[in-house]
Chains A and B, each alone.
Chain A
Amino acid sequence: MRTLRPAAPDVTQPDPAAFFEIVYGIFERAEQAAGTVDRWYRIAGHPVRLRFAGSTLVPLITPALEHLAMEPVSRPALTVCLWDVESTLPQVPAPPWRMHDDVNSQESRAYSDERIHVAFDIGTGVLSLVDAAEDLALYCVRDPRQLPGYEIGAPLKPILQWAMRSRGGQLVHAAAVGRPDGGVLLVGRGGSGKSTTALTCLGTGLLYAADDYCMLTTDPSPYAHSLYNSAKLYAVDLSRFPRLAAIPSRLDDLGIDKALLFLHPHQREWITTGFPIRAILVPQVTGRPDTSVHPISPAIALRALAPSTIFQVVGPDRSTLGVLAACVKRVPCYALRLGSTLPAIPRAIQDVLAAASGSA
């Protein structure tokens, strides 16, 4: 093992499309050796086929998506080929893009072009590639034993972002809860209280669509599509949510990371696949007992939503800001000042939805 040093660009390396073909060929070899396992999911309204080489990744990738499971159809909108290097053996060749000691996902994004998108996440050891022209994606895991809980709880994010963009979808860093006729988007950077807010709504009549990531569409009107039925929270917070006690968690597996729970199939009646967005809430932890709601400008909501979505989830991209702005300009926006009395939080959200219904 050696420490990576800056390297000059190698002009003999393949272009992105050629690299995609090389990696796809490796997947086919893995598939021939390990067999095919197919799973189908309706993601943001589109049929998506997950085509696994072997079964190793199936229990790691599918639980978060299981509430979106569907029967196979003849023509998927997207096919994702998944395999792991550890159990299928064929190695993926060294990445053809230039890397430095401080390499990060932006380095590999720089390798992408209009058709081929490439991301390598050093935290998860996952290489993701999308061929937008072919509606084909590749998801290669270095070592499934090292796959962190946050990837198991919310897998395939770069692939879903790129593949759904041409269909009007935008992956956003937001929680979402609501009713079948409409819900709220909870926005803010990590630690702002959006996940806690979403968890307080479980079993209260407000349905759960997301605690961290969902797919946003804005045509004809803002709509939040659920991607994952997972919920994450720190171990010390488990006692604050007794409704979650009966759901098995992966806390033991995750060590210092958050506990990870899948609401499907244990509490499938708590989950929704999505709803129209009636309001955007920006949670703020106050330390006071009461929860209250106060109107804010769309610009403040955008400042809560856009930076973490752009820099933390989808990567620097010019078009994302416009999509997010289109959403915040079309629905009322509020600061949700979170109190310490948890049952008051879903009631405050219900009040927002009732007001939105009255004005709709």
Chain B
Amino acid sequence: MSTSACFKVNSPNVVHEVFDDEVVIINLDTGVYYSVNGLAAEIWTRIDGSTAGAIIDDLALRYAMPASDVEGSVRPFLDELGAEGLVVTDQPGSGERARRSGTESGDGAPRLPRFEAPVLRKYSDMQELLLLDPIHEVDEVGWPVRPNGANEQRPKDPA
């Protein structure tokens, strides 16, 4: 993943909701949903339109840490977001966020006490619901029907 490529949320397949302490992210394509908080939530809320370099510089400034140290934690997280299909990259353009300047630390945002590696918590329990449909047959008209064996038992209540 290039440092100069801009991230964007993989919309419309991915939706998210931001709370004070957590971001809930849902991949509508896969049925997997995610939760991030702390530093991971900070990264998510600034990822749209930003480059990896801008995010790392920004966090290095905010946490008063060397950019190389921040990158060691943040880069794998960004890679994971990409691998999960939650973000995609684009070439930098007019929408790119400018790198924050050194005055940002004085913007009133509290300096975090500890820098903890960002974590993407992943929940796959809904995926099975998307994969429930058995191999089926079709009737004379063309509508799918359950195979003969499956018809001997009533379908299970999905609720």
Partner of A257, one of B22, B132, B142, B154: B154
Would B21 and A299 count as touching, CB distance under 8 A? yes
8 contacting pairs across A/B (C-beta < 8 A): A94-B143, A103-B144, A123-B146, A125-B145, A146-B151, A255-B153, A311-B130, A318-B15
The answer to whether A322 and B17 have CB atoms under 8 Å apart is: yes
Q: How far is the CB of A21 from chain B (nearest CB, A)?
A: 18
Bound-complex Cα distance A258 to B145 (A): 22
Contact with B along A87-115 (1 / 0, CB 8 A): 00001111100010111101000000000
**CA of A190 to CA of B159, assembled, Å:** 5
B145: which A residues are within 8 A, CB to CB? 1, 122, 125, 142
Residue pair B133, A102 in contact (C-beta under 8 Å) = yes
* Contact yes or no, A120 B24, CB < 8 A: no
- Given A102-B133, A307-B123, A318-B12, also A4-B144 (CB < 8 A): yes
Contact B154 A148 (CB under 8 A): yes
Interface size on B, residues (CB 8 A): 43
Question: Would B143 and A258 count as touching, CB distance under 8 A?
Answer: no
Chain A count of residues within 8 A CB distance of the other chain: 58
Type the 1/0 row for B11-51, where 1 means its CB is closer than 8 Å to any CB of A.
01001110111111010110101010000000000000000
Which of chain A's residues has its CB closest to B22's CB? A299
In the complex, the chain A residue whose C-beta lies closest to that of B158 is: A312
Known pairs A256-B153, A303-B35; A122 contacts B125 (CB<8 A): no
A19 within 8 A of B: no
Q: A150's closest neighbor in chain B, by CB?
A: B157
| Smallest beta-carbon distance B23→chain A, Å | 8
Q: Which residues of chain B in 73-104 are interfacial with respect to chain A, using CB atoms and an 8 Å cutoff?
A: none
Set of chain A residues within 8 Å of B113, measured between Cβ atoms: none
Beyond the given pairs A1-B140, A103-B144, 6 more chain A to chain B contacts, judged by CB atoms under 8 angstroms and listed by A's residue number, are A3-B138, A92-B143, A122-B145, A148-B154, A306-B33, A312-B126
